[in-house]
């Protein structure tokens, strides 16, 4: 199996992590105002940046997508408040002293602090304003634009671009006819772009779409309120170059017979099932099962449920042949999270060879992970065999992808490098523990211990202390998959801020422990932040385990409302080192009206691999395909 391959180029920004983003050519080595402008230029770039459209919504919590990596890699569009927040998060991550969100009239923009002052940059409407002469090289602050709207309406040294085509500067000056107010940036960088390619699996990502997208829960309202910004076949950019979303798909087709290692290396866990003569075969009487995990850094999508009146389809297609012996039974079950309820999507009507094609799109749309479990109950008559099993399996999973994140090809020689591993260059796999804090039952399922906690319906609080004199504690168990050992953990919590005039000192914290009772070591331990609306703020941290572990515990503790929490574990899969699997990387592009391609075979994935693609004039990049073949014994 191959861990997190990615193609990098000096001609493209690497969006695989924030660390890689800031190391990319357009941002590396820049400082001060040059760096502030470079980040703004990335946001407004017509190829790699964002366009304005109705923001995507998280499936689990039904709130906006705040994670920078999801916005850049999975979607490629945003809206003013989220864009301003994203820019402020990037400015702080880039090392600026501070950044915040400036509130305009029914609009928001980012403000960053450097050279002893604040400077306003608007990524959504695509403009910033320089001071008038003789300081025409200095970007003005929000306060300066409020005091002198001619910095907007009669700008002497405008940015490039300077506002969207339908936003004349004299009209935009009206945005500054408000009293000054500011909000803190909110960061939720729990996502990573890590993934694994198993034997018999391929990943194709396209700069164009094939009609697979997500009808998010806010789309009905958006369509009715802003019909001029709506397009019935999915998110779009209203102005040239009229960018859209991209599609991609995973295709998993392992060889399950005993002559190959695909089953051993591809299954998440198996109990009583092994690779056999005709496929994955039940090898004992009684209950047996095997589970396959489908984890993607991109959200699964399909032909959408338009206006919520149709079931999404053609996004998750399972083709399989299941053999059921006399006296036996079989079923296929699905879950989007192992802690959530499993449900049956197929059950054998009797013995025989069952060939089927199941469309499971409605169950997985807008999720980033799902699991398929094949269950057998092998009870043959006396003298019979338990020859039940899976003879064939093909799973096709479509997803959304931001075309700008896929890189580019330019005229002449393109020096490309395939790199592997997580953001630290290690061959770890990702395990994300997400909880719907709006659902008391979900918290109850996933938390192994709740102490002094009470649930409340307030949208800004989910959990508060039953006894206000002491903190609540919410403890989660994090367990590595059967073939894994945990290496490090990241914890994120969203807490309610305190009132600015509240003198009370308080803290929010998350701890790492070897048991659910400790001893505890801090992952983060932060001072409670004053916030004028008492809106939530983020607290986060990362901890390296003193030694690899199969199971650890994470404890959140505070006296203010906890509305969201996530845990990301990185683990080493002991099967990764067992075999080096070659990978094929294929680039497809068009030039001079003809389609061209280049395939690179990488024999030793895990080590950086450099190669060159020569292109003619004006190449149009189409797709990149990564594939791992079957592994023979």
Tens of pLDDT along 137-152?
A: 999 999 999 999 999 9
Alpha helices in 94-229 (DSSP H): 142-147, 150-153, 169-172, 219-225
> May I ask the CATH class of domain 429-573?
mainly beta
Structure tokens at 272: 């009583």
pLDDT digits (tens, 9 = 90+) for 225-245: 999 889 999 999 999 999 999
In whole angstroms, give the CA distance from residue 603 to residue 595: 26
SS3 labels along 366-384 = CCCEEEEEEEEEECCCCCC
CB atoms within 10 A of CB 216: 20
Q: Does the structure show a pLDDT above 70 at 384?
A: no
If you classify domain 210-237+246-401 with CATH, what class do you get? mainly beta
The model's confidence at residue 579, banded by pLDDT at 50, 70 and 90, is low
3-state secondary structure 41-99: HHHHCCCCCCEECCCCECCCCCCECCCHHHHHHHHCEECHHHHHHHHHHHHHHCCCCEE
Token code pair at residue 131: 């001071």
* For residue 14, pLDDT beyond 70: yes
Question: In the chain, which segments carry CATH 2.60.120.260?
Answer: 210-237+246-401, 429-573
Bridge partners, residue 374, by sequence: 290, 332
Can you tell me the mean pLDDT for 40-61? 95
DSSP conformational letter for 228: G
> How do beta strands 286-295 and 369-378 pair?
antiparallel
Tell me how far CA of residue 356 lies from CA of 70, 197, 328, 365, 610, in angstroms.
34, 25, 18, 21, 42
Can you give the pLDDT at residue 341? 83
| Torsion angle (degrees, nearest 10) of CA 440, 441, 443, 447 | 130
Thinking of the domain 18-184, which architecture would CATH place it in?
Roll (3.10)
Dist. CA 630–CA 129, nearest whole Å:
57
| Longest Cα–Cα distance in the chain | 97
**The pLDDT of residue 528:** 84
198 pLDDT exceeds 90?
A: yes
Question: What is the spatial distance between Cα 391 and Cα 323, in angstroms, rounded to a whole number?
Answer: 7
* Tens of pLDDT, residues 506-542: 899 999 999 999 899 999 999 888 777 777 889 999 9
How much is the pTM?
A: 0.95
In percent, the amount of the chain with pLDDT more than 90 equals 84
Task: Give the distance, in angstroms, between the CA of residue 5 and the centroid of all CA atoms in the same chain.
Answer: 16
pLDDT tens per residue, range 450-477? 999 999 887 778 899 999 999 999 999 9
- Average the pLDDT over 378-398 and give the result: 84
**pLDDT score recorded for residue 382:** 66
pLDDT-based confidence at residue 315 (cuts at 50, 70, 90): very high
Pairing mode, strands 412-419 and 6-8: antiparallel
Residue ranges matching CATH 3.10.620 in the chain: 18-184
Residues 203 and 192: their CA atoms lie apart, in Å, by: 17
Phi, psi of 516 (to 5 degrees): -70, -5
CB count, 10 Å around CB of 317? 19
What average pLDDT score do residues 383-399 get?
A: 88
């Amino acid at each position: 199996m191959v861990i997190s391959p990615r193609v990098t180029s000096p001609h493209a920004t690497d969006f695989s992590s924030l660390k890689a983003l800031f190391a990319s050519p357009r941002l590396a080595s820049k400082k001060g105002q040059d760096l502030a402008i470079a980040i703004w230029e990335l946001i407004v770039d017509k190829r790699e940046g964002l366009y304005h459209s109705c923001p995507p919504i998280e499936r689990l919590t039904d709130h906006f997508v705040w994670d920078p990596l999801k916005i850049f890699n999975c979607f490629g569009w945003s809206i003013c408040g989220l864009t301003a927040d994203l820019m402020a998060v990037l400015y702080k991550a880039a090392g600026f002293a501070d950044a915040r969100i400036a509130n305009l009239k029914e609009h928001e923009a980012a403000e960053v602090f450097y050279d002893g002052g604040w400077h306003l940059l608007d990524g959504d409407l695509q403009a910033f304003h320089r001071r008038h002469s003789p300081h025409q090289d200095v970007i003005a602050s929000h306060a300066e634009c409020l005091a002198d709207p001619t910095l907007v309406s009669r700008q002497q040294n405008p940015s490039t671009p300077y506002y969207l085509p339908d936003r004349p500067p004299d009209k935009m000056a009206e945005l500054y006819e408000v009293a000054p107010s500011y909000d803190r940036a909110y960061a939720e960088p729990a996502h990573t772009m890590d993934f694994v390619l198993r034997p018999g699996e391929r990943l194709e990502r396209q700069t164009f779409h094939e009609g697979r997208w997500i009808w998010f829960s806010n789309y009905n309202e958006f369509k009715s309120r802003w019909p001029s910004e709506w397009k019935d076949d999915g998110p779009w950019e209203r102005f040239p170059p009229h960018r859209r979303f991209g599609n991609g798909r995973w295709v998993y087709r392992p060889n399950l017979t005993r002559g190959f290692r695909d089953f051993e290396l591809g299954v998440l866990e198996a109990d009583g099932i092994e690779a056999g003569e005709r496929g994955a075969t039940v090898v004992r009487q009684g209950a047996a099962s095997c589970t396959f995990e489908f984890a993607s850094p991109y959200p699964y999508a399909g032909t959408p449920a338009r206006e919520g009146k149709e079931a999404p389809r053609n996004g998750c297609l399972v083709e399989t042949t299941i053999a059921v012996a006399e006296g036996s039974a079989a079923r296929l079950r699905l879950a989007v999270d192992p802690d959530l309820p499993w449900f049956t999507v197929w059950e054998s009507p009797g013995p025989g060879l069952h060939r089927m094609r199941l469309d499971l799109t409605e169950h997985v749309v807008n999720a980033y992970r799902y699991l398929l479990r094949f269950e057998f109950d092998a009870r043959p008559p006396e003298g019979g065999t338990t020859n039940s099993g899976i003879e064939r399996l093909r799973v096709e999973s479509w997803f959304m992808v931001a075309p700008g994140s896929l890189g580019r090809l330019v005229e002449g020689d393109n020096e490309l490098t395939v790199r592997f591993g997580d953001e630290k260059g290690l061959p770890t796999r990702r395990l994300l523990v997400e909880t719907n804090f709006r659902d008391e039952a979900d918290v109850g399922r996933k938390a192994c211990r709740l102490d002094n906690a009470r649930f409340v319906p307030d949208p800004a609080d989910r959990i508060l202390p039953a006894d206000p004199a002491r903190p609540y504690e919410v403890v989660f168990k994090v367990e590595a998959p059967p073939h894994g050992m945990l290496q490090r953990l990241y914890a994120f919590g969203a807490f309610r801020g305190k009132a600015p005039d509240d003198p009370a000192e308080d803290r929010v914290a998350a701890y790492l422990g070897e048991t659910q009772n400790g001893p505890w070591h801090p992952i983060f331990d932060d001072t409670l932040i004053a916030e004028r609306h008492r809106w939530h703020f983020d607290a986060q941290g990362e901890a390296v385990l003193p030694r690899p572990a199969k199971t650890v515990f994470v404890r959140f503790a505070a006296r203010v409302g906890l509305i969201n929490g996530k845990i990301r574990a990185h683990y080493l899969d002991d099967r990764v080192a067992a075999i080096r699997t070659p990978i094929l990387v294929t680039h497809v592009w068009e030039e001079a009206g003809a389609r061209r391609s280049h395939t690179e075979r990488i024999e030793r994935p895990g080590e950086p691999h450099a190669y060159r693609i020569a292109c003619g004039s004006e190449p149009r990049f189409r797709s990149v395909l990564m594939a791992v073949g079957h592994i023979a014994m």
